[in-house]
Amino acid sequence: MTPSLNEIINALEAEVNPGLQESWDNTGWQVCAESKDDACTGVLICVDVTDAVISEAIARGYNLIVSHHPLIFRPLKRLTGTTPAERMAIKLIKSGISVYSAHTSLDNASKGVSNYLAEALGLTKICPLAPRRDVLYKVAVYVPEKDADTVRDAMHHAGAGHIGRYDRCGFTIKGEGTFRPLQGSNPHIGQQDETTEVSEMKIEAVVSAHLRSKVESAIRKAHPYEEPAIDIYHIEAADTSTGLGAVGNLPQPLSAARLIERIKEVYGSPVVRTTPHDDSMTVSRVALCGGSGGEFIPAAIGAGAQVYVTSDVRYHDFVDYRERILVVDTGHYESEKCTTILLSSIISKKFPNFAVGISTTETNSITYQ
């Protein structure tokens, strides 16, 4: 059975939640068909939506493009065809093609852009360079003892209790719960107008903000009570399972020269920009960030990295940090071309016999001479 546009995107968002995006971003649907329930005739994956990519989708007969960079980053006030974004939006609408973009949601995902690059470089003990902060909550729910396992499993299945490289983390306390059902209630235990005491378990687990509503919904669905008691507390701590960038260790130390060659191979960069350095220096710890990550140079230094790999680094950042860390600028497109592999693999895993293609017409908008 052919999946709908919505089914394709729901499968993608199950692994790359749009709630992970940065506040300034525009992850999500960019242009959408009249009905998201329309059958999807094929998905074309790209880094950037361009006129050539749209023409390729038309030629292939695909009605969905999934990109990394948003087609519409700044709000469109009109559709007159005076800007590239306006012209492409008009072409997409005329051709019946929808566009969905997974930008910083994919950057922040636990298995996102930087984690992919870190693994490709062979790093070990990988963790986010800039974990997301102020996005954690603790959820506590009170449930009859006999139903505790069911509710706990529902919470964990929805994403609660994930801390770093551990899941199903939580804490349980046994106690006595009391309540009195009032007129109009339909109690699972007890009688109306009578106070009831029940042996209950208090189940606690942390949950990231983007999964909070999903976890709460799962609790209510699994809980036997008509009105379950749920407490939600904000936690001032970092979510070490998600965030921008990555830092890790090389399995064996390498010289700076050999590491730079490996970076060029993995990223597909014909050239890189670097701070002045000794090619023979020994490197054992590396930090990186896909896309424009110059702002995280201090974080890389603080994490003990000797090399930081990113793109779009400003000249004055090279000046300011040249004595403190080896900065390697690969180029923006090179650092994010892997998003096409990530996005296509997520969709293909869910729909293995469906047409999912990586654009063959897309090329880097920057050339090197």
Token pair of 94 as six digits: 């005329």
- DSSP states along 101-166: E-SHHHHHSTTSHHHHHHHHTT-EEEE-SEEEES-EEEEEEEEEGGGHHHHHHHHHHTTTT-BTTB
For each of the chain's 369 residues, which pLDDT tens digit applies?
899 999 999 999 999 999 999 999 999 999 998 889 999 999 999 999 999 999 999 999 999 999 999 999 988 889 999 999 999 999 999 999 999 999 999 999 999 999 999 999 999 999 999 999 888 999 999 999 999 999 999 999 999 998 877 899 999 999 998 989 898 888 888 888 889 889 999 999 999 999 999 999 999 999 999 999 999 999 988 888 899 999 999 999 999 999 999 999 999 999 999 999 999 999 999 999 999 999 999 999 999 999 999 999 999 999 999 999 999 999 999 999 999 999 999 999 999 999 999 999 999 999 998
Cα–chain center distance at 75: 23
CB 359 within 8 A of CB 53: yes
For 351, other C-beta atoms within 10 Å of its C-beta total 16
Residue written as tokens 């180029």?
Answer: 331
176 pairs with which residues across the strands? 199
Q: Phi then psi for 339, rounded to 5 degrees?
A: -60, -30
Is residue 168 classed as helix, strand or coil in its secondary structure? Answer: coil
Residue written as tokens 């509710």?
Answer: 151
Q: Phi then psi for 35, rounded to 5 degrees?
A: -130, 125
Token pair of 240 as six digits: 């070490």
Q: Compute the Cα dihedral for 129, 130, 135, 137 and give only its sign.
A: positive
CB 174 within 8 A of CB 185: no
CA–CA distance, 247 with 325 (Å, rounded to integer): 14
Tell me, what's the pLDDT at 333?
98
CB 346 within 8 A of CB 10: no
Helices (H), 19-120: 51-60, 84-95, 104-108, 113-120
Angle at 120 between CA 325 and CA 326, to 5 degrees: 10
Angle, helices 256-267 vs 113-120, to 10°: value is 130
CA–CA distance, 293 with 317 (Å, rounded to integer): 11
CA–CA distance, 186 with 252 (Å, rounded to integer): 64
Tell me, what's the pLDDT at 201?
94
Cα–chain center distance at 338: 14
Q: Phi then psi for 88, rounded to 5 degrees?
A: -70, -35
Tell me, what's the pLDDT at 220?
97
CA–CA distance, 308 with 270 (Å, rounded to integer): 18
Is the pTM for the entire model greater than 0.85?
Answer: yes
Torsion of CA 364, 366, 368, 369, to 10 degrees: 120
